[in-house]
Chain A
Amino acid sequence: MALTDASPIVTARLRHGDSHTLERYLATGGYDGLRRALRMEPEQVAEEVNAASLLGRGGAGFPAGRKWSMLRPSPVRYLVVNGDESEPATFKDHLLIERDPHGIIEGTLIAAYANQVTQAFIFVRGEFALGLERMQAALNEAYQHGAVGRDIFGSGFSVDVVVHPGAGAYIAGEETGLLESLEGKRAFPRIKPPYFPAAIGLYGEPTIVNNTETMANLPWIVQHGGHAFAALGEGSSTGTRVFALSGHVRRPGNYELEMAKTTFRDLIFAPVLGGGIRHGRELKAFIPGGVSAPWFGPDQIDLPLDQDAVGKAGSMLGSGSVVVMDDQTCVVRAAWRIVRFFYRESCGQCTPCREGAGWIEKVVRRIEEGSGREQDLDLLLDVCDNIAPGLSWPPQQTTICVLGPSIPSSIVWAIRMFRDEFLVHIKEGACPYG
């Protein structure tokens, strides 16, 4: 096992039961990163983040520093922190929001200072009732402490931060859907171009949208320097990342690991991490980065947790969530449940996504229920091809946002990897797993 001993960056504080309080935050170096940043020029702070090569931790993996550099000059600029974590099997932002809200707030303030933002919003998924309470309580404490608001720590820099609750919609996690939602509308993703809210964002003004975990890394980067961060990991996958492990493992949970230095095998089987497959069973398949990602089989288990390596192997590290399926898993049922999710969450703007997801769901369901037809697999691949022509990875897109091309991932790769299992369902008119 090639586990590294790099110390955690964003989960270090969580061993304390009261990690969400200002008292514990200050006792563990809290707001020192912000104080240091405020003594620097804003451009220097941005330079450190650039040097860190911090990739966005939401799912797309776009470098945070580059997002910042595209910000259009304007007297009004906004920063929106995306805490609308909804990619199935992803539960790291949930953890950070409840257990380290000050870390996210401090990162938000550092980003606000670096980009001279006048107003920031922390968008918290509506279903996180406790997270919303913890985040608001932490923000109230931060105001009281002088860390946010007018003339922060006597630096002359002022910024207001508002905690904004979502109300239940996966698509609000898409960055332009998020902005629509924050504007009080249906969370319909916006037509691109413009590709980046840095040009036209919230209320039409230049806006940065960053993920919560991305923010939580900033205090450390400012304190230790961008190069120290970039020294962790390998290539473009720098720093650490919180991997959310779930499914048929002995020890599901969030594990913060140095990027690229750990393999999927380590994550799933190391005794201190996943602990192996439950009930002495074998690994059948795993999803490497959220349910939008193509599946991997046991052959790919020695790939490192590295954005480029996983991309080259034909999938994505995505939201950093790994779902493990054992040899007793009905892959038809698993793929059906994932496509059902996309069907329910499609916003309905684009025909391939709205109609395609519904038809795929119906056809996979009838296969699973034993009423499948011989031509159904070709039919499924054909409908999928209409959504993401070519069925390649990365996918082609026929829709406004990437929800569309995410739909075929589980179905197409499940059919490619387990065609026989689909055929058994169809021939025997029943699910072999009951």
Chain B
Amino acid sequence: MARLSAEAVAQARELMSLYPDSRSALVPICHLAQAEEGWLSPEVMEHIAELMGITPAEVLGTASFYEMLRTEPVGRYMVSVCTNIACLLNGAYELLEHAEERLAIGVGATTPDQMFSLEEAECIAFCDRAPCLQVNHRFFGSVDDERFDTLVEDLAAGRLDDDVPHHGVLSRVRRQGGLAVPAEQVRAERAEADRARAERAAAAQAERS
């Protein structure tokens, strides 16, 4: 993919307008771009830079800092097995080993059919269901070897398509609502309210004394 789709460009502009400084939209726009192709190609990062009026290096500089933003292609399903403390105490490394065997790939690799990538994740905050994992950041808890195999089969057969969209798709809920007036107007109203409040406070003070 060389460029973002027209729909994504429209959404990116919408995101940029939400923030006092449009640069704040960079991470959300990276998510948006990943939702299209599953990762951030150099070309798409250039397109993002162009849209936002920053350099491609700035896009890469930010994107490369964050685990979820991928500057290399990954499979349709990113399987992230947590091995942090609560999961470690509940057999996470045994589960990770099983995952490597079942998918026939090591941690950090992608299956030849581009269906599954496997990674060792840091704590994903699902510790009461340890050992746990995420597939494209959807949670699966209390995962044993058998449940892992069933999960992989269900994903491969497309039986979980509604719950687990392809890698890169994060929130599927679009923002609706807003102030519907410029921020300056709200600030002017706020200043007016501040003045009125100060007057009320002064009047109350005068009444007391």
Contacts and interface: CB of A to CB of B under 8 A. Distances in A.
Interface string B4-39: 000000000000001111011111101100000000
A134 B7 CA distance: 23
Given A167-B69, A253-B128, A129 B18 contact: no
A323 B190 contact: no
A113 to B, nearest CB: 11
A252 B127 contact: yes
A190 interface: no
Interface stretch (A154-162, A219-227, A256-264, A387-395): A154-162
Contacts of B181: 150, 158
Interface string B101-140: 0000000000000000000001111111110001011110
Given A144-B177, A203-B20, A325-B89, A252 B170 contact: no
What is the interface residue range for chain A against chain B? 35 or more
Contacts of A61: none
Contact of A126 (B68, B85, B128): B68
A184 B52 CA distance: 11
A81 to B, nearest CB: 15
A91 to B, nearest CB: 4
A334 B197 contact: no
A183 B23 contact: yes
Contacts of B189: 156, 158
Interface string A112-154: 0000101100000111111011001101101110001110000
A42 interface: yes
A168 to B, nearest CB: 3
B84 interface: yes
A185 B177 contact: no
A148 B179 CA distance: 9
Given A41-B197, A126-B31, A168-B67, A89 B84 contact: yes
A182 B15 CA distance: 13
A240 interface: no
Contacts, number: 209
Given A118-B186, A133-B172, A88 B138 contact: no
B24 A132 contact: no
A248 interface: yes
A166 interface: yes
A65 interface: no
A329 to B, nearest CB: 7
B126 A91 contact: yes
Contact of B125 (A90, A137, A253, A337): A90
Contact of A163 (B26, B69, B175, B183): B175
A333 interface: yes
A130 B85 contact: no
B193 A156 contact: yes
A181 B176 contact: no
B24 A182 contact: yes
A267 to B, nearest CB: 13
Given A75-B190, A129-B136, A247-B89, A185 B125 contact: no
B62 interface: yes
Interface stretch (A22-30, A338-346, A353-361): A338-346
A318 B114 CA distance: 41
Contacts of B1: none
Interface residues of B, number: 63
B67 A76 contact: no
B19 A162 contact: yes
Given A75-B187, A89-B127, A156-B189, A133 B171 contact: yes
B194 interface: yes
A68 interface: no
A184 B171 contact: no
Contacts of A129: 136-138, 170-171
A108 interface: no
Nearest to A183: B24
B123 A86 contact: yes
B51 interface: no
Given A127-B137, A143-B178, A291 B18 contact: no
Contacts of B21: 183-184, 203
Contacts of A90: 123, 125, 127
B177 A89 contact: no
A424 to B, nearest CB: 20
A165 interface: yes
Interface in B170-209: 170-181, 183, 186-187, 189-191, 193-194, 197, 200-201
Given A128-B125, A169-B67, A341-B84, 14 more contacts: A75-B191, A90-B127, A118-B186, A118-B190, A127-B134, A128-B137, A140-B177, A166-B68, A167-B30, A168-B67, A182-B24, A184-B62, A247-B85, A341-B123
Interface of A: 41-42, 75-76, 85-91, 93-94, 116, 118-119, 125-130, 132-133, 136-137, 139-140, 142-144, 148-150, 156-160, 162-170, 181-187, 203, 244-248, 252-254, 287, 291, 321, 323, 325, 329, 333-334, 337-338, 341, 344-345, 347
28 contacts: A41-B200, A87-B123, A88-B86, A118-B183, A119-B183, A126-B68, A127-B68, A129-B171, A132-B171, A136-B175, A137-B173, A160-B178, A164-B27, A164-B28, A165-B171, A183-B21, A186-B62, A203-B21, A245-B128, A246-B128, A247-B89, A254-B128, A287-B85, A334-B85, A337-B88, A338-B84, A341-B85, A345-B122
Interface of B: 18-21, 23-28, 30-31, 61-62, 65-69, 83-86, 88-90, 122-130, 134, 136-139, 170-181, 183, 186-187, 189-191, 193-194, 197, 200-201
Across the A-B interface, give the 6 residue pairs with the lowest CB-CB distance, nearest first: A143-B177, A168-B67, A184-B26, A167-B66, A246-B127, A88-B123
